Amino acid sequence: MRFTVVTAFPDFVEAFLSTSVIGRAASSGALSVDVVDLRDYADGDYGQIDDYVFGGGGMLLMAEPLGRAVEAARATSNPYVVYPSPQGAVLHQEMVETLAGKEHLVLICGRYEGVDERFTEAFVDLEVSLGDFVLTGGELPAMVLIDAVARLLPGVVGREEAVEEDSFYRGMLDTPHYTRPALWRGRPVPELLVGGDHGAIGRWRRRQAVERTLRRRPDVVARASMIPYMSHGAYVLILADGEKERELPLLSRACESYGVTRLLWASPSGESRRSAAGSAKTFPSPEKALRWIGAREKKAPFVVGLSRERVEGALHWSQLKRELLEKDLPLAFVLGPTEGETLEIERCDAVLQPIRGGSGDPGSLSSAGLLSVLLDRFFGWR
Ligand SMILES: C[S@@+](CC[C@H](N)C(=O)[O-])C[C@H]1O[C@@H](n2cnc3c(N)ncnc32)[C@H](O)[C@@H]1O
């Protein structure tokens, strides 16, 4: 992957490259960084790159030198141009992952009042902010972007799994970490971590990650997949009807894609539709299906109903997601019958608000469509 940093202060960026892990990765060839001096694209001997803001104010980087610098980068590739700016979208890990998929990033370092708006309109693909505060220049944000993107590239940081365990990689914050000594100023390391039971350590870490995310950044939970953090299985129970019977292969594929433990199929009328159920496990009634989950998990499942109609007390999915992570129980999503009959709410521990598209009509989505949206909200990650 290639980065081009366009800056009026190349020494600042060069110093970072000569000392950091990222700099070493650049010299080993894992990535390449060109630092471009904006003055090389200025007019005249003096190399003017900035001027006064029209209408009053401080200085601004001029559009022409910036435009020429990007055009020079474009002569060799088709780069994606990023302008770090306090007015951009606030940077987060998913954005970093998207940027890591580009072949060539050109990073434009603003200074003074920023850059001429016409340059942004004509050349910039994305404006990115580090947060709601103002720095003196874009060099630090450019270095932050290079660092965050580069550590996702193979061979840049030593142990690749470490990247996958970091905060936000799978949506949750990282677990707490400890090193020697095992007792420091009267504070011991959690005992389980010094024993060698890696299964128990894994479970403890996942639980810690969930608890600290719920405590510190509950907003992040909406973007995380629950599956890697659940101590029990996640089941989908379909209450059979004609539409779902036709859609069974799609329902089944959605469950597989999102890592559902088992798809269960129950006929509310009590008759067994074994022939229709395919890979799903068939039960003559929803109660029997839920009891089967309880016996398998050694704990009764938390039953969540999805209804197409508005039900009093129904929960928003993001609120329910936080509650489910807190409870850490086996989970059964129940997809109710399509028409007529409503899901028997008393069987459920919680009911979700209906999934609505822009038209506001949940009836226009197929059962497989509804299930996919539901699974993506709880088990997908962004
Ligand atoms: C002093 S700032 C300009 C601020 C600009 N007048 C404004 O209020 O939006 C100079 C440069 O620093 C960089 N910068 C400052 N704060 C930033 C932030 N929070 N995120 C990303 N870049 C930032 C930008 O490249 C910006 O052009």
Answer yes or no: is the C-beta of 141 below 6 A from any ligand 1 atom: yes
Q: In angstroms, what is the span from residue 61 Cα to ligand 1's centroid?
A: 12
The answer to whether position 284 is within a domain reads yes
CB atoms within 10 A of CB 76: 11
The answer to whether position 260 is within a domain reads yes
Q: Are residues 201 and 287 in the same domain?
A: no
pTM, 2 dp: 0.83
Q: Are residues 139 and 201 in the same domain?
A: no
**Pairing status of strand 183-184 against strand 187-188:** antiparallel
**Best residue for ligand 1 mutational test, from 87, 134, 144 (most atoms within 8 Å of Cβ):** 134
The answer to whether position 180 is within a domain reads no
Give dist(CA 310, CA 64) in Å, integer. Answer: 57
Q: Over the stretch 298-346, which tens digit does the pLDDT of each residue have?
A: 999 999 998 777 778 899 999 999 999 999 999 999 987 654 444 565 6
The answer to whether position 163 is within a domain reads no
Q: Over the stretch 139-177, which tens digit does the pLDDT of each residue have?
A: 999 999 999 999 999 888 766 556 666 677 677 898 999
Nearest atom in ligand 1 to 83's CA:
25
Are 143 and 13 in contact by the 8 Å Cβ rule? The answer is: yes
Domain with 213, as residue range(s), is 186-224
Q: Are residues 44 and 97 in the same domain?
A: yes
Sheet with 32-37, side-by-side order of all strands: 32-37, 2-7, 104-108, 80-90, 126-129
Tokens found for residue 55: 């209408």
**Best residue for ligand 1 mutational test, from 135, 144, 146 (most atoms within 8 Å of Cβ):** 135
- Per DSSP, 315 falls in state B
Q: Are residues 209 and 272 in the same domain?
A: no
Q: Are residues 48 and 144 in the same domain?
A: yes
The answer to whether position 23 is within a domain reads yes
CATH number at residue 318: 3.40.1280.10
Give dist(CA 173, CA 223) in Å, integer. Answer: 11
Q: Is the ipTM of this complex over 0.95?
A: yes
Q: Are residues 211 and 273 in the same domain?
A: no
Q: What does each of the 382 residues of the chain score in pLDDT, given as a tens digit?
A: 999 999 999 999 999 988 878 888 888 888 999 999 999 999 888 899 999 999 999 999 999 999 999 999 999 999 999 999 999 999 999 899 999 999 999 999 999 999 999 999 999 999 999 999 999 999 999 999 999 999 999 888 766 556 666 677 677 898 999 999 999 999 999 999 999 899 999 999 999 999 999 999 998 898 899 999 999 999 999 988 878 888 999 999 999 999 999 999 987 665 555 555 567 999 988 889 999 999 999 999 999 998 777 778 899 999 999 999 999 999 999 987 654 444 565 678 999 988 877 776 656 788 899 999 999 999 997 6
Q: Are residues 212 and 335 in the same domain?
A: no
Q: Are residues 9 and 138 in the same domain?
A: yes
The answer to whether position 165 is within a domain reads no
Per DSSP, the three-state class of 254 is helix
DSSP line for 114-142: BB-HHHHHHH-SEEEESSSS--SBSHHHH
Of the residues 150, 173, 207, which one is the last residue of a structural domain? 150
Q: Are residues 282 and 354 in the same domain?
A: yes
Query: Residue ranges for the binding site for S-adenosyl-L-methionine?
Result: 110, 130-135
Q: In angstroms, what is the span from residue 91 Cα to ligand 1's centroid?
A: 14
Q: Are residues 53 and 26 in the same domain?
A: yes
Domains identified in the chain, total number:
3
Answer yes or no: is the C-beta of 87 below 6 A from any ligand 1 atom: yes
Q: Are residues 125 and 238 in the same domain?
A: no
Q: In angstroms, what is the span from residue 182 Cα to ligand 1's centroid?
A: 44
Answer yes or no: is the C-beta of 133 below 6 A from any ligand 1 atom: yes
Q: In angstroms, what is the span from residue 134 Cα to ligand 1's centroid?
A: 5
Catalytic positions, written as ranges: 86, 113, 151, 166
The answer to whether position 278 is within a domain reads yes
Nearest atom in ligand 1 to 114's CA:
27
Per DSSP, the three-state class of 37 is strand
Q: Are residues 211 and 298 in the same domain?
A: no
